[in-house]
Amino acid sequence: MTNAKPKHFLSIRDFDTATLREILDLAKAIKNGTYKGELLPDQHLAMIFEKPSTRTRVSFQVGIEQLGGKAVLMDQAGSQLGHGESIADTARVLSRFVNGIMIRTSGEEKLLEMAEYASVPVINGLTDDSHPCQLMADMLTYEEHRGSIEGKRVVWVGDGNNVANSWIHCAARFNFALTLATPRELAPSQEVVDWAGSQNADITVTEDVQAAVAGADLVVTDTWVSMGQDGAERRKALLAPYQVNEDLMALAASDALFMHCLPAHRGEEATDAVLDGPHSVIFDEAENRLHAQKGIMVWCMGK
Protein backbone atom coordinates (compact mmCIF):
# COMPACT_ATOMS: atom_id res chain seq x y z
CA MET A 1 0.00 0.00 0.00
CA THR A 2 0.96 3.63 -0.40
CA ASN A 3 -0.05 6.69 1.58
CA ALA A 4 0.10 8.95 -1.47
CA LYS A 5 -3.27 10.20 -2.69
CA PRO A 6 -4.20 8.31 -5.87
CA LYS A 7 -4.75 10.19 -9.14
CA HIS A 8 -8.32 9.27 -10.04
CA PHE A 9 -9.99 10.03 -13.39
CA LEU A 10 -13.67 10.40 -12.55
CA SER A 11 -15.04 13.41 -14.46
CA ILE A 12 -13.85 16.05 -16.91
CA ARG A 13 -15.16 18.69 -14.53
CA ASP A 14 -12.63 17.61 -11.86
CA PHE A 15 -9.68 18.90 -13.92
CA ASP A 16 -8.42 22.20 -15.18
CA THR A 17 -7.70 22.68 -18.86
CA ALA A 18 -3.94 22.34 -18.43
CA THR A 19 -4.24 18.88 -16.85
CA LEU A 20 -6.64 17.65 -19.54
CA ARG A 21 -4.24 19.02 -22.15
CA GLU A 22 -1.39 17.13 -20.47
CA ILE A 23 -3.35 13.87 -20.66
CA LEU A 24 -4.29 14.43 -24.31
CA ASP A 25 -0.72 15.26 -25.27
CA LEU A 26 0.41 12.12 -23.45
CA ALA A 27 -2.15 10.07 -25.41
CA LYS A 28 -0.96 11.59 -28.69
CA ALA A 29 2.69 10.88 -27.89
CA ILE A 30 1.97 7.26 -26.98
CA LYS A 31 -0.12 6.81 -30.13
CA ASN A 32 2.54 8.38 -32.36
CA GLY A 33 5.41 6.51 -30.73
CA THR A 34 7.15 9.67 -29.56
CA TYR A 35 6.57 9.22 -25.80
CA LYS A 36 9.90 8.82 -24.03
CA GLY A 37 8.70 8.16 -20.48
CA GLU A 38 8.09 4.88 -18.71
CA LEU A 39 4.89 3.05 -19.58
CA LEU A 40 3.22 0.57 -17.21
CA PRO A 41 5.32 -2.63 -17.11
CA ASP A 42 3.91 -5.29 -14.78
CA GLN A 43 1.03 -3.03 -13.70
CA HIS A 44 -2.37 -4.68 -13.19
CA LEU A 45 -5.72 -3.03 -13.94
CA ALA A 46 -8.92 -4.43 -12.42
CA MET A 47 -11.82 -3.88 -14.84
CA ILE A 48 -15.24 -3.95 -13.14
CA PHE A 49 -18.25 -4.24 -15.43
CA GLU A 50 -21.76 -3.83 -14.06
CA LYS A 51 -22.90 -2.90 -17.58
CA PRO A 52 -22.01 -4.81 -20.76
CA SER A 53 -19.43 -3.32 -23.10
CA THR A 54 -17.54 -3.81 -26.33
CA ARG A 55 -15.37 -0.71 -26.81
CA THR A 56 -14.63 -0.06 -23.13
CA ARG A 57 -13.66 -3.64 -22.37
CA VAL A 58 -11.50 -4.25 -25.42
CA SER A 59 -9.83 -0.83 -25.45
CA PHE A 60 -8.85 -0.95 -21.77
CA GLN A 61 -7.64 -4.56 -21.93
CA VAL A 62 -5.64 -4.05 -25.13
CA GLY A 63 -4.43 -0.69 -23.84
CA ILE A 64 -3.02 -1.92 -20.53
CA GLU A 65 -1.39 -4.89 -22.27
CA GLN A 66 0.23 -2.67 -24.91
CA LEU A 67 1.57 -0.55 -22.05
CA GLY A 68 3.22 -3.64 -20.55
CA GLY A 69 0.61 -4.48 -17.91
CA LYS A 70 -2.25 -6.93 -17.52
CA ALA A 71 -6.02 -6.71 -17.10
CA VAL A 72 -8.14 -8.55 -14.54
CA LEU A 73 -11.76 -8.76 -15.73
CA MET A 74 -14.51 -8.69 -13.12
CA ASP A 75 -18.26 -8.80 -13.68
CA GLN A 76 -21.19 -9.21 -11.32
CA ALA A 77 -21.53 -12.92 -12.00
CA GLY A 78 -17.87 -13.64 -11.37
CA SER A 79 -17.12 -11.51 -8.30
CA GLN A 80 -18.39 -10.98 -4.77
CA LEU A 81 -19.36 -7.43 -5.75
CA GLY A 82 -22.46 -8.91 -7.37
CA HIS A 83 -23.22 -11.06 -4.34
CA GLY A 84 -23.40 -8.61 -1.46
CA GLU A 85 -19.86 -7.35 -0.84
CA SER A 86 -19.81 -3.59 -0.43
CA ILE A 87 -18.15 -1.19 -2.83
CA ALA A 88 -15.96 0.06 0.02
CA ASP A 89 -14.68 -3.41 0.92
CA THR A 90 -14.13 -4.27 -2.74
CA ALA A 91 -12.12 -1.07 -3.21
CA ARG A 92 -9.93 -1.77 -0.19
CA VAL A 93 -9.30 -5.39 -1.15
CA LEU A 94 -8.54 -4.67 -4.81
CA SER A 95 -6.13 -1.93 -3.76
CA ARG A 96 -3.97 -4.65 -2.15
CA PHE A 97 -3.81 -6.61 -5.43
CA VAL A 98 -3.80 -4.20 -8.39
CA ASN A 99 -2.35 -0.86 -9.46
CA GLY A 100 -5.56 0.66 -10.81
CA ILE A 101 -9.32 0.09 -11.06
CA MET A 102 -11.61 0.87 -13.99
CA ILE A 103 -15.32 0.67 -13.20
CA ARG A 104 -18.27 0.78 -15.61
CA THR A 105 -21.41 1.08 -13.55
CA SER A 106 -24.81 2.75 -13.26
CA GLY A 107 -24.97 5.09 -10.31
CA GLU A 108 -22.38 7.84 -9.90
CA GLU A 109 -22.43 7.11 -6.17
CA LYS A 110 -20.80 3.71 -6.78
CA LEU A 111 -17.94 5.32 -8.68
CA LEU A 112 -17.42 7.92 -5.98
CA GLU A 113 -17.49 5.33 -3.19
CA MET A 114 -14.95 3.21 -5.07
CA ALA A 115 -12.67 6.24 -5.39
CA GLU A 116 -13.14 7.20 -1.74
CA TYR A 117 -11.99 3.83 -0.41
CA ALA A 118 -9.45 2.78 -3.04
CA SER A 119 -5.79 3.53 -2.42
CA VAL A 120 -5.03 3.09 -6.14
CA PRO A 121 -6.32 5.21 -9.06
CA VAL A 122 -9.95 4.71 -10.11
CA ILE A 123 -11.01 5.43 -13.71
CA ASN A 124 -14.61 6.10 -14.72
CA GLY A 125 -15.44 3.74 -17.60
CA LEU A 126 -19.02 5.07 -17.70
CA THR A 127 -21.82 5.90 -15.29
CA ASP A 128 -25.39 7.06 -15.84
CA ASP A 129 -24.12 10.61 -15.22
CA SER A 130 -20.95 10.85 -17.30
CA HIS A 131 -18.55 9.23 -19.76
CA PRO A 132 -15.26 11.14 -19.54
CA CYS A 133 -13.07 8.57 -21.33
CA GLN A 134 -15.30 8.88 -24.39
CA LEU A 135 -14.89 12.66 -24.40
CA MET A 136 -11.11 12.44 -24.21
CA ALA A 137 -11.25 10.20 -27.29
CA ASP A 138 -13.59 12.69 -28.98
CA MET A 139 -11.27 15.62 -28.26
CA LEU A 140 -8.35 13.62 -29.63
CA THR A 141 -10.32 12.74 -32.76
CA TYR A 142 -11.40 16.31 -33.47
CA GLU A 143 -7.87 17.63 -33.05
CA GLU A 144 -6.47 15.00 -35.42
CA HIS A 145 -8.94 16.00 -38.14
CA ARG A 146 -9.41 19.75 -37.64
CA GLY A 147 -6.92 21.06 -35.10
CA SER A 148 -7.97 22.91 -31.97
CA ILE A 149 -11.66 22.75 -31.01
CA GLU A 150 -11.41 26.08 -29.18
CA GLY A 151 -13.94 28.58 -30.54
CA LYS A 152 -15.74 25.99 -32.68
CA ARG A 153 -19.51 25.36 -32.77
CA VAL A 154 -20.47 21.90 -31.54
CA VAL A 155 -24.06 20.62 -31.63
CA TRP A 156 -25.34 17.68 -29.61
CA VAL A 157 -28.51 16.19 -31.12
CA GLY A 158 -30.91 13.88 -29.26
CA ASP A 159 -31.08 12.71 -25.66
CA GLY A 160 -29.49 14.85 -22.95
CA ASN A 161 -27.78 11.81 -21.44
CA ASN A 162 -24.51 10.95 -19.69
CA VAL A 163 -22.40 11.58 -22.80
CA ALA A 164 -24.14 14.94 -23.29
CA ASN A 165 -23.19 15.81 -19.70
CA SER A 166 -19.54 15.11 -20.45
CA TRP A 167 -19.76 17.25 -23.60
CA ILE A 168 -21.00 20.09 -21.37
CA HIS A 169 -18.04 19.54 -19.05
CA CYS A 170 -15.69 19.63 -22.04
CA ALA A 171 -17.19 22.85 -23.39
CA ALA A 172 -16.24 24.52 -20.13
CA ARG A 173 -12.69 23.18 -20.24
CA PHE A 174 -11.85 23.41 -23.96
CA ASN A 175 -13.65 26.68 -24.66
CA PHE A 176 -16.00 25.78 -27.53
CA ALA A 177 -19.64 26.76 -27.99
CA LEU A 178 -22.01 23.87 -27.34
CA THR A 179 -25.67 23.75 -28.36
CA LEU A 180 -27.79 20.83 -27.18
CA ALA A 181 -30.83 20.21 -29.39
CA THR A 182 -33.14 17.93 -27.41
CA PRO A 183 -36.84 17.42 -26.74
CA ARG A 184 -37.89 19.31 -23.62
CA GLU A 185 -38.64 16.03 -21.85
CA LEU A 186 -35.10 14.75 -22.47
CA ALA A 187 -33.13 17.94 -21.85
CA PRO A 188 -29.73 17.65 -20.16
CA SER A 189 -29.33 17.83 -16.41
CA GLN A 190 -30.06 21.34 -15.15
CA GLU A 191 -27.41 20.88 -12.48
CA VAL A 192 -24.79 20.23 -15.15
CA VAL A 193 -25.97 23.19 -17.26
CA ASP A 194 -25.88 25.44 -14.18
CA TRP A 195 -22.37 24.22 -13.34
CA ALA A 196 -21.25 25.09 -16.87
CA GLY A 197 -22.75 28.54 -16.44
CA SER A 198 -20.70 28.99 -13.29
CA GLN A 199 -17.62 28.22 -15.40
CA ASN A 200 -18.62 30.83 -18.03
CA ALA A 201 -19.13 28.10 -20.64
CA ASP A 202 -21.06 28.93 -23.83
CA ILE A 203 -24.00 26.50 -23.52
CA THR A 204 -27.36 26.70 -25.31
CA VAL A 205 -30.26 24.26 -24.90
CA THR A 206 -32.96 24.30 -27.57
CA GLU A 207 -35.68 22.18 -29.16
CA ASP A 208 -35.00 23.63 -32.63
CA VAL A 209 -32.63 21.10 -34.15
CA GLN A 210 -32.43 22.69 -37.61
CA ALA A 211 -31.46 26.09 -36.24
CA ALA A 212 -28.97 24.45 -33.89
CA VAL A 213 -27.15 22.51 -36.62
CA ALA A 214 -26.96 25.41 -39.09
CA GLY A 215 -23.28 26.23 -39.61
CA ALA A 216 -22.03 23.74 -36.99
CA ASP A 217 -18.42 22.57 -37.06
CA LEU A 218 -19.26 19.27 -35.36
CA VAL A 219 -22.52 17.34 -34.97
CA VAL A 220 -22.72 14.64 -32.30
CA THR A 221 -25.44 12.15 -31.43
CA ASP A 222 -25.94 8.96 -29.41
CA THR A 223 -28.39 6.08 -29.08
CA TRP A 224 -31.94 7.00 -28.16
CA VAL A 225 -32.39 4.23 -25.61
CA SER A 226 -29.46 3.38 -23.35
CA MET A 227 -28.94 0.10 -21.52
CA GLY A 228 -31.55 -0.50 -18.84
CA GLN A 229 -33.76 2.49 -19.69
CA ASP A 230 -37.53 2.12 -19.61
CA GLY A 231 -40.06 3.66 -21.99
CA ALA A 232 -38.23 2.85 -25.22
CA GLU A 233 -41.16 3.51 -27.54
CA ARG A 234 -41.99 6.85 -25.96
CA ARG A 235 -38.35 7.93 -26.16
CA LYS A 236 -38.17 6.95 -29.82
CA ALA A 237 -41.32 8.96 -30.60
CA LEU A 238 -39.93 12.04 -28.86
CA LEU A 239 -36.57 11.74 -30.61
CA ALA A 240 -37.73 10.88 -34.13
CA PRO A 241 -37.56 14.55 -35.25
CA TYR A 242 -33.94 14.61 -34.04
CA GLN A 243 -32.61 11.94 -36.38
CA VAL A 244 -29.30 12.98 -37.95
CA ASN A 245 -29.86 12.41 -41.67
CA GLU A 246 -28.44 13.87 -44.87
CA ASP A 247 -30.86 16.81 -44.85
CA LEU A 248 -29.85 17.78 -41.33
CA MET A 249 -26.11 17.40 -41.96
CA ALA A 250 -26.49 19.57 -45.07
CA LEU A 251 -27.26 22.48 -42.72
CA ALA A 252 -23.90 22.17 -40.98
CA ALA A 253 -20.66 23.70 -42.27
CA SER A 254 -19.38 22.05 -45.44
CA ASP A 255 -16.37 20.63 -43.57
CA ALA A 256 -18.31 19.66 -40.45
CA LEU A 257 -17.51 16.39 -38.71
CA PHE A 258 -20.03 13.87 -37.40
CA MET A 259 -19.45 11.81 -34.26
CA HIS A 260 -21.28 8.99 -32.51
CA CYS A 261 -19.75 7.08 -29.60
CA LEU A 262 -21.33 3.78 -30.76
CA PRO A 263 -23.00 1.34 -30.73
CA ALA A 264 -25.30 2.90 -33.33
CA HIS A 265 -28.87 1.85 -33.98
CA ARG A 266 -28.76 2.48 -37.69
CA GLY A 267 -31.88 4.14 -39.04
CA GLU A 268 -32.85 5.52 -35.64
CA GLU A 269 -30.62 8.28 -34.26
CA ALA A 270 -28.65 8.47 -37.51
CA THR A 271 -28.97 7.11 -41.03
CA ASP A 272 -26.48 4.91 -42.83
CA ALA A 273 -25.79 7.79 -45.22
CA VAL A 274 -24.51 9.89 -42.30
CA LEU A 275 -22.82 7.13 -40.30
CA ASP A 276 -20.87 6.00 -43.36
CA GLY A 277 -20.74 9.37 -45.11
CA PRO A 278 -17.99 11.90 -45.77
CA HIS A 279 -18.53 13.84 -42.53
CA SER A 280 -18.33 10.76 -40.29
CA VAL A 281 -15.28 10.01 -38.15
CA ILE A 282 -17.01 7.44 -35.95
CA PHE A 283 -14.46 4.66 -36.43
CA ASP A 284 -11.49 6.95 -35.83
CA GLU A 285 -13.37 8.04 -32.72
CA ALA A 286 -13.80 4.41 -31.64
CA GLU A 287 -10.11 3.65 -32.20
CA ASN A 288 -9.13 6.68 -30.17
CA ARG A 289 -10.78 5.21 -27.09
CA LEU A 290 -7.71 2.96 -27.00
CA HIS A 291 -5.22 5.80 -27.33
CA ALA A 292 -6.98 8.28 -25.04
CA GLN A 293 -7.32 5.66 -22.32
CA LYS A 294 -3.66 4.72 -22.60
CA GLY A 295 -2.89 8.36 -21.88
CA ILE A 296 -5.29 8.33 -18.94
CA MET A 297 -3.82 5.10 -17.51
CA VAL A 298 -0.25 6.34 -17.78
CA TRP A 299 -1.24 9.66 -16.17
CA CYS A 300 -3.10 7.91 -13.34
CA MET A 301 -0.89 4.87 -12.74
CA GLY A 302 2.55 5.95 -13.93
CA LYS A 303 5.38 6.81 -11.60
Does the annotation count 261 as an active-site position? yes
Q: Which of 44, 279, 289, 291 is catalytic?
A: 289
Q: Which of 169, 261, 279, 291 is catalytic?
A: 261
Measure the CA–CA gap between 237 and 174, rounded to whole angstroms.
33
Q: Which of 104, 153, 173, 291 is catalytic?
A: 104
Are 297 and 40 in contact by the 8 Å Cβ rule? The answer is yes
Does the annotation count 159 as an active-site position? no
Cα–Cα–Cα angle for 104, 109, 113, rounded to 5 degrees: 85
Q: Which of 159, 222, 235, 243 is catalytic?
A: 222
Q: Which of 13, 131, 169, 235 is catalytic?
A: 131
Q: Which of 43, 61, 134, 293 is catalytic?
A: 134
Does the annotation count 57 as an active-site position? no
> How many other CB atoms are there within 10 angstroms of residue 303's CB atom?
7
Does the annotation count 14 as an active-site position? no
Phi first, then psi, for residue 268 (nearest 5°) are: -105, -90
Catalytic annotation, residues? 104, 131, 134, 222, 261, 289
